[in-house]
Amino acid sequence: MSNDIIDVSMISNNTKKIKAAITAIGGYVPEDFISNKDLEKMVDTNDEWITARTGIKKRRILKEKGKATSYLAIKAANDLIKKKKLEPDTIDLVIVSTITPDFHGASTSPTVASQINASNAYAFDINAACSGFLYGMSTATSYIESGRYKKVLLIGADMMSSIVDYTDRSTSILFGDGAGAVLIEPSKNEFGWEDEFLRSDGVGADWLKIKAGGSLYPTSKETFEKKWHYITQDGKTVFKSAVSEMANATEQIIIRNKLDRNDIKYLLPHQANKRIIDATAEKINLDKNKVLMNIEEYGNTTAATIPLLMHDYESNFKKGDKIILAAFGAGLTWGAAYLTWAYN
């Protein structure tokens, strides 16, 4: 047996750490929509009131019978595959972040993986509501950084119209349907996923939820009659918490990474409400010109909002841009993340 001593520190120092990076983006929203004028005929509201309080003008709706969240996710994935000229059988893992799966008890992601011909991938869902994309990015980048996988497809997709009560003014004005997809691979340069700050707190679970359909309140005649299968929220409490926690998480990222606010190129916040977005930007003292929004056209698409922002503004991003992501959702779940853009 050799008596040579191996210097473990030398091994670790000479081993280059794998950095994960977004290398492609896809997106999809349905053509049909419900405008504020349409909502005026459905609930006691008007265009001026909705616009002033939310910044939303329309929300896309998947109206086709027999279509569900998987359809939205597949369309976004195929958009990415076409643009990237990606061979689907090279994808190692498919993750779908959603709170509106096609079925309870059967994950949506295997359906998506099969339909896009990702024949060598395994798949699973993540349920973290509006923070789902951030939680998914944390998971996907960890798989890449471990060296175990080379290509992870992450999709944020929700068909919120399936759980919205269109007689409820507080929620019907907010939500829409859509999907965004990103491909995560090992970075070919020094840019990519830099840091994350993710948190959760079950104390606020009652503030934003769908009460029935789970094991606590299984589906019954009573749950249908009480409309417990629709999403409900305590708007004022959620508003205050969203601003506070998104701003705090973003501050943690800025401080931890010693970022100068002038060097931050863009903030991509969850698109829940324009007033929440504006208040968050003001609380962290960030120039509003750096804050990206598309809420006017889509409303709140839950797990899809951040990847749809990436999809819509992709041409604005340049290699090396410092970008902050922030979200807040049911659970409660929230967080922020920092990445440097990896391609032009």
Q: Which of 36, 270, 273, 311 is catalytic?
A: 270
Closest CA to 178 of 22, 292, 33: 33
Sign of CA dihedral 218, 219, 224, 227: positive
SS3 state of residue 322: strand
> Is 270 considered catalytic here?
yes
Are the CB atoms for 40 and 206 separated by under 8 Å? Answer: no
| Orientation of helix 274-283 relative to helix 47-54, angle to 10° | 30
Q: What is the DSSP letter of 219?
A: -
Q: What is the distance, to the nearest Å, from the Cα of residue 93 to the centroid of all Cα atoms in its chain?
A: 17
CB-CB neighbours of 162 under 10 Å: 17
The DSSP H or E segment spanning 307 is helix 305-313
In whole angstroms, give the CA distance from residue 37 to residue 161: 17
Q: Which of 36, 248, 273, 300 is catalytic?
A: 300
> Is 316 considered catalytic here?
no
> Is 285 considered catalytic here?
no
CB-CB neighbours of 138 under 10 Å: 17
In whole angstroms, give the CA distance from residue 174 to residue 299: 6
Residues with catalytic annotation? 130, 270, 300
